[in-house]
Amino acid sequence: SAAFSQTFIDMPRPERPLKVAVIGAGLAGLSCAKYLSDAGHEPIVLEARDVLGGKVAAWQDKDGDWIETGLHIFFGAYPNVNQMFTELGIRDRLQWKSHSMIFAMPGQQTADGFQRFSRFEFPDLLPAPLNGLVAILLNNEMLTFPEKIQFGIGLIPAILFGQKYVEECDSLTVTEWMAKQGVPDRVNDEVFIAMAKALNFIDPDNLSMTVVLTALNRFLQETHGSKMAFLDGPPPTRLCQPMADHMLARGGELRMEQRISQVLLNDDKTVKGLKMQDGSTVVADAYVSTMPVDVLKLMLPDEWRPMPYFEKLNGLTGVPVINIHMWFDRKLTTVDHLLFSRSPLLSVYADMSLTCKGYRDDEKSMLELVFAPAKDWIGRPDEAIIEATMEELYRLFPNELNKDGSGAQLLKSAVVKTPLSVYEATAGRELYRPVQTSPISNFFLAGCFTKQKYLASMEGATFSGKLAARALADAAAAGTIPLKEAASAMAA
Ligand code: FAD
């Protein structure tokens, strides 16, 4: 990924830099704009909201506490994101945790009444895949030895046939794959319900096996692949702003609260301009949409809809998810790590007062919890969601929280609902993911739903932006993008 980044800097400078309208200032849009500016072009980023980040956006409540769209974890196996931090000189903002995966054992307590956790510890001294195998073999609380062996045997085709096999498995759900490979149901119940909810906010009965195998592949092939990091504060200021500053310093532009309402076409179906919600028009040489797939589908011009490239977007839909913040009057845990809840309503959670320097509090806990699957809850009132979450927390913190109100007190809470988040990675979705180059010569796509090998994630979004920037820069160099008169470009 460092070498890929360098290609943007090494490219011959364009004779006439392209004005490129990048729609959306999430990670895909900001990454695309950054690399376009590295290649000598002039991105102008148009963001609908008043905050950077899209699905990593965050804002402050009346007390100054940060509310995040999602609890976000960075992995060692995120080459393009890690490279981005290096290029921006902000690597110290990633707070790496011990190389472990920690699963809660709801309802189970230690002898002194505390929540029990089951850990997969990856030994630092061993390279991949040995560190992963030792982590799995040494954990005997969740799976028995014969269950681990049966799962290991099930994985043999993935090891033998590599990426081709991983892609073929997109036709199967996780549960179907487990049954086909003869893996006992308990492996699914004990580990993969939690894994599926963490990876795509849905159950293994629906999730494509390709998603799980892609993650396992990275974790088993890269020594630090499954190592996790928390950002040291809110993503918009700690990550997105430096990305924006990089391209602003190289001639780019950022326009906030600029919502596009229509894509205007020339007679040959190429993009003529973008109609903005405020009635103005933005004209550029080329256009990159990084809008989420559900918004993009609504925004497609009628003339494009029958084209197979755009028609297949109908196969992708965002999945609902809810992110919850709960502030307690005392510490609930001392674990400075991501925790897999293994509870019916929740996915992962963390005490951000421990895991994140920017939210540090030595006295109180701030739990951030991902509530998934959320399809039956997304339309319900916040109070009902908090009440249901408290029920789960009584089982997760049996010693600290009591139904009679004698334990820790909930001081306040915040619920962030995203009804259509990342695309729902049910079996068979890979076929519908579009590549970054569209059949329209001056229109490109990026976003975590577009085709790249890193799933719907921050890495996927960042990489897709980089791929779109490269496709656009190559097309510019090859002269396949019709140039606007320099004087009229970007007229509002
Ligand atoms: P987005 O972030 O959606 O960006 C699209 C942008 O387009 C937005 O800023 C939006 O405002 C803008 N836009 C939309 N319409 C218009 C318009 N008409 N005009 C102008 N602008 C417009 N990933 C991980 O890697 N690790 C995690 O732990 C993780 N946890 C998550 C937890 C939750 C609760 C959620 C919701 C997501 C999580 N993700 C995680 C996924 C990750 O956040 C996304 O994959 C990634 O941020 C998507 O980036 P994007 O740029 O593709 O899209």
CA separation for the pair 1, 331 (Å, rounded): 40
Report pLDDT for 113: 74
Report pLDDT for 348: 97
Q: What is the whole-number distance in angstroms between the Cα of residue 482 and the centre of ligand 1?
A: 30
pLDDT averaged over every residue in the chain? 94
Percent of the chain with pLDDT over 70: 98
Does residue 492 carry a pLDDT above 60? no
- Check pocket membership of 77 for ligand 1, CB cut-off 6 A: no
Percent of the chain with pLDDT over 90: 82
Residue of 137 and 437 predicted with greater confidence: 437
Closest C-alpha to 392, from 414, 415, 371: 371
DSSP letters, 202-266, are S-TTTBBHHHHHHHHHHHHHSTTTT-EEEESS-HIIIIIHHHHHHHHTTT-EEESS--EEEEEE-
Report pLDDT for 219: 86
Q: Per-residue pLDDT tens for 360-393?
A: 999 999 999 999 999 999 999 999 999 999 999 9
DSSP label of 328: E
> What value does the mean pLDDT take over residues 272-292?
97
Q: What is the whole-number distance in angstroms between the Cα of residue 24 and the centre of ligand 1?
A: 9
> What value does the mean pLDDT take over residues 318-338?
96
> What value does the mean pLDDT take over residues 314-330?
98
In order of 2, 162, 432, 480, the CA distances from 308 in angstroms are 34, 29, 10, 21
User: Residues for the chain: how many in total?
Assistant: 492
Q: Between helices 79-88 and 458-478, what is the axis angle to 10°?
A: 80
CA separation for the pair 338, 197 (Å, rounded): 14
DSSP label of 46: E
Q: Is the ipTM of this structure higher than 0.95?
A: yes
**Bridge partners, residue 260, by sequence:** 276
CA separation for the pair 57, 434 (Å, rounded): 25
Does residue 434 carry a pLDDT above 60? yes
- Check pocket membership of 323 for ligand 1, CB cut-off 6 A: yes
Residue 71 contacts by C-beta under 8 Å, 6 or more apart in sequence?
323, 338, 348, 349, 350, 352, 368, 369, 370
CA separation for the pair 90, 119 (Å, rounded): 30
Q: Per-residue pLDDT tens for 393-407?
A: 999 998 899 999 889
* Probe target for ligand 1 pocket from 55, 200, 453, with the most ligand atoms within 8 Å of CB: 55
- Check pocket membership of 465 for ligand 1, CB cut-off 6 A: no
Report pLDDT for 55: 98
- Check pocket membership of 31 for ligand 1, CB cut-off 6 A: no
Residue 46 CB coordination number (10 Å): 24
| Segment among 7-21, 134-148, 440-454 with least mean pLDDT | 134-148
CA separation for the pair 64, 220 (Å, rounded): 41
**What's the chain's Rg over C-alpha atoms?**
23
b/e map 131-152, b = 16+ CB within 10 Å: bbebbbeebeebbeeebbebbe
Residue of 29 and 162 predicted with greater confidence: 29
> What value does the mean pLDDT take over residues 214-220?
88
> What value does the mean pLDDT take over residues 19-35?
98
Q: Answer yes or no: are the C-beta atoms of 201 and 374 closer than 8 Å.
A: yes
Instruction: Tell me the Ramachandran region of residue 162: left when phi exceeds 0, alpha when psi lies from -120 to 50, beta otherwise.
Output: left
Does residue 489 carry a pLDDT above 50? no
Does residue 198 carry a pLDDT above 90? yes
Report pLDDT for 485: 65
pLDDT band at 490 (very low <50, low <70, confident <90, very high): low
Report pLDDT for 487: 39
